[in-house]
Amino acid sequence: MSPMERIHSTQYYTFFQSDKERCFYIDLGQKVVRLSFCQLLALRQRIWSINIENHFDEDINPHGLEILALCNREHLFVLNTLEVLDLKELLTGAFFLLDIAAQTPSLSPRV
Amino acid sequence: MKDIARQQMSIKVESMDMLNAQIQMEGKASASYLAMASWCDQRGYNQSASFMYQQAAEEREHMMKIFKFVNDCGGSALSPEIGNINHDFTSLEEVFETALSQEIEVTKSINRIVAGAKKNSDFGVENFLQWFITEQLEEEKTMRDILDLFEIMGRDGIALKLIDERIKAE
Ligand SMILES: [Fe+2]
Ligand SMILES: [Fe+2]
């Protein structure tokens, strides 16, 4: 792994960028995952499509877990409700700091 | 730090999300017009049927236009899932009333995206949608003009036949 710049951290996760490889890394605790830009967009779409309310519904999602297959199913993760929310927060912040999101309530832009 | 993400994508993710929702809406409009075409075809309203087939094709074009735009800007366009299409109408007039309300919903949605793009200083998106704004005004007018025919000519069997003959697919 070449030198990376830390872009953003949340309670559980950290988001990095590698200028040299022109890609991104997410430290998910159990594993560090390398993502191209389109894989990053796909991850965002996957996370955004999660209906978190189902985590509180005994019938639909009794264990409140989400199975996440990343990068064409190269990696498989099981996230609980708090981890899903934290990953969402990580991506929200990272996209804003990467200058491709217009809004985030809690962060100010990099200069 | 290099602007790697920004170099890959020239629109904001907020715009991308709204445009993906619009892709879904145009796709649904296309499917809905197809249902109207079927209703008209089965009842011998041939001109209205042709008109609706053409509308269905146009809505698909709108969908493709946005779809291509999102991908061309480096975003990720999503192929929409379309369900819940209404096939039941009680009259030819109701078909066109439904068409008008559907167009009004699309107009509102386009306006919301333009307002959002403006707020986010995403001017490329705002500019891209100008064509849709003009298009929506025309589409609403087309439907309103057709609905006026029912006021002028009435709603009995002969009137409906005459109205149908006046409806033109451009
Ligand atoms: Fe349209
Ligand atoms: Fe339309």
What pLDDT band is residue B170 in, cutting at 50, 70 and 90?
confident
CB contact under 8 A, A110 and B119: no
Complex ipTM: 0.86
List the domains of chain B with CATH numbers. 11-166 (1.20.1260.10)
For residue B60, give the ligand nearest its CA: 1
Answer yes or no: is B93 a known binding residue.
Answer: no
Which residue stretches of chain B are H helix?
A: 4-8, 13-42, 46-72, 92-119, 123-153, 157-166
Domain that holds residue A15: 5-97
Q: Decide if pLDDT at B4 tops 80.
A: yes
Q: Does B26 carry a binding-site annotation?
A: yes
Averaged pLDDT score across all residues of chain B: 97
B126–chain A Cβ distance below 8 A for any pair: no
Q: Do A99 and B8 touch (CB under 8 A)?
A: no
Residue A61 inside a domain? The answer is yes
Asked whether the predicted pLDDT for residue A111 surpasses 60, the reply is no
pLDDT digits over B138-164, tens only?
999 999 999 999 999 999 999 999 999
Q: Hey, what are B4's tokens? A: 């790697």
The verdict on a CB contact (< 8 Å) between B12 and A22 is no
- Per-residue pLDDT tens over the stretch A2-60: 678 999 999 999 999 999 999 999 999 989 999 999 999 999 999 999 988 898 888 88
Identify which of A5, A38, A103 has the shortest CB distance to residue B76.
A38
Confidence of residue B27 (pLDDT cuts 50, 70, 90): very high
In one-letter notation, the amino acid at residue B139 is E
Q: List, in sequence order, every residue forming a beta bridge with A76; answer none if it has no partner.
A: A69
CB-nearest partner of B1 from A5, A41, A44: A5
Confidence of residue B62 (pLDDT cuts 50, 70, 90): very high
pLDDT surpassing 80 at residue B166: yes
Please state the domain count of chain A: 1
pLDDT tops 90 at residue B31: yes
| Domain assignment of residue A53, yes or no | yes
Band (A104; pLDDT cuts 50, 70, 90): low
The per-residue pLDDT for B50 is: 98
- Does residue A71 form part of some domain? yes
**Across the interface, do A100 and B9 touch by the CB < 8 Å criterion?**
yes
Calculate mean pLDDT across residues A53-69.
Answer: 88
Query: Which of A35-39, A69-73, B35-39 is the least confident region?
Result: A69-73
Q: Is residue A111 part of a domain?
A: no
Q: Above 90 in pLDDT, residue A70? A: no
Mean pLDDT confidence for B34-43: 98
Contact B8 A44 (CB under 8 A): no
Catalogue the long-range contacts made by B104-109 (C-beta closer than 8 Å, 24 or more residues apart). B104/B140, B105/B25, B106/B25, B106/B26, B106/B29, B106/B136, B106/B139, B107/B136, B107/B137, B107/B139, B107/B140, B109/B21, B109/B22, B109/B25
Contacts of B9 in chain A (CB under 8 A): 37, 41, 100
A65 CB-near residues (< 8 Å, 6+ apart):
A78, A79, A80
Element containing residue A76 per DSSP (H, E) = strand A75-80
Identify which of B95, B90, B68 has the alpha carbon closest to the alpha carbon of residue B79: B68
Least distant ligand from the CA of B139: 2
Give the residue among B162, B79, B169, B66 at the shortest CA–CA distance from B113. B66
**B11-19: average pLDDT:** 96
What residues of A are in contact with residue B4 (Cβ under 8 Å)? 17, 19, 22-24, 37, 98
SS3 A65: strand
pLDDT at A84: 95
